[in-house]
Amino acid sequence: MRDELYNELVKSENLVYKKTSLMTDNVLSYCPGCGHGTAHRIIMEVIDEMDMQQDTIGIAPVGCSVLAYEFMNIDMQQAAHGRAPALATGIKRLWPDKLVFTYQGDGDLAAIGTAETIHACNRGENILIVFINNGIYGMTGGQMAPTTLPGMKTSTSPFGRNTALMGNPLKITELVAQLPGVHSVSRQAVHTPAAVRKAKKAIKKAFEYQKENTAGATFVEIVSSCNSGWKLPPAKANEWMMGEEPYVPVLSTGAIR
């Protein structure tokens, strides 16, 4: 009886989900509860669905996702901290028919790489920038990021971010949305299944735009939890991320441009 049930279940018409072959079998280096794994997966699923594996080049940043190339089964180059949009510019200008994307965290993109981000977008480089925002430096152990919210505790703002001393969080996504070279900007999240579906749709839209056009940057921010850096269990981190207090009221999701 059980064998019959099993044989019935494994029939291909009953298949509802299959790991994309564009994710390698390497064990993810991310903490349990981290959003990176989900973000990696949806990008790879989109490239798979578009049948663009042989025409995609990705850029890994410095930060937790420095090893993204271990998990994404596509040609990839690892950039110096913050320089991914410059690398992507160099590649895309010479391989205009390829899909080129960067995958960058908030420290990488919004602090040390602000100039490269702004200028690549302003030039209208036909690339996709995927911006993973968790409001903290994850890899180095939870220090204050340019995106750390006012009052938020980190290892370098242990009593909370004091904006009078430490400056204000940089809303770089809103900043990028003002630039004439940018085609589309949206803020997404990966803390619920519904949010993941929306984020994937945004990635797909951005890649489809890139494939069909010759200019215009696309920019997708994905708000992601860093439970280790936030010192919260994964479920609480997700609640906090989109709860009443910090992220959503400050950072509304959806299309910005």
Report the residue number, 33 or 63, with the smaller CB distance to another protein: 63
Helix (H, G, I), strand (E, B) or coil at 168: coil
Helix (H, G, I), strand (E, B) or coil at 173: helix
At closest approach, how far in Å is the CB of 158 from another protein?
A: 28
At closest approach, how far in Å is the CB of 38 from another protein?
A: 21
At closest approach, how far in Å is the CB of 98 from another protein?
A: 6
Report the residue number, 125 or 221, with the smaller CB distance to another protein: 125
* Whether the Cβ atoms of residue 134 and residue 35 lie closer than 8 Å to each other: yes
Report the residue number, 20 or 77, with the smaller CB distance to another protein: 77
At closest approach, how far in Å is the CB of 31 from another protein?
A: 16
At closest approach, how far in Å is the CB of 142 from another protein?
A: 19
Residues near another protein (CB under 8 A) are 53-57, 59-60, 66-67, 69, 72-80, 83, 86-91, 93-95, 98, 115-116, 119
At closest approach, how far in Å is the CB of 84 from another protein?
A: 8
Distance CA 162, CA 147 (A): 13
Report the residue number, 94 or 194, with the smaller CB distance to another protein: 94
Residue 248 vs residues 207, 241, 253: alpha-carbon distances, Å: 26, 7, 7
* Whether the Cβ atoms of residue 187 and residue 152 lie closer than 8 Å to each other: no
Run of H or E residues at 152: none
Structure tokens at 120: 């690549």
Residue 241 corresponds to which amino acid? M
Report the residue number, 61 or 169, with the smaller CB distance to another protein: 61
Beta strands 75-78 and 99-105, pairing class: unpaired
Instruction: Indicate if the alpha-carbon torsion angle 28, 41, 59, 55 is positive or negative.
Output: positive
Q: What is the largest CA-CA distance in the chain?
A: 69
Report the residue number, 139 or 223, with the smaller CB distance to another protein: 139
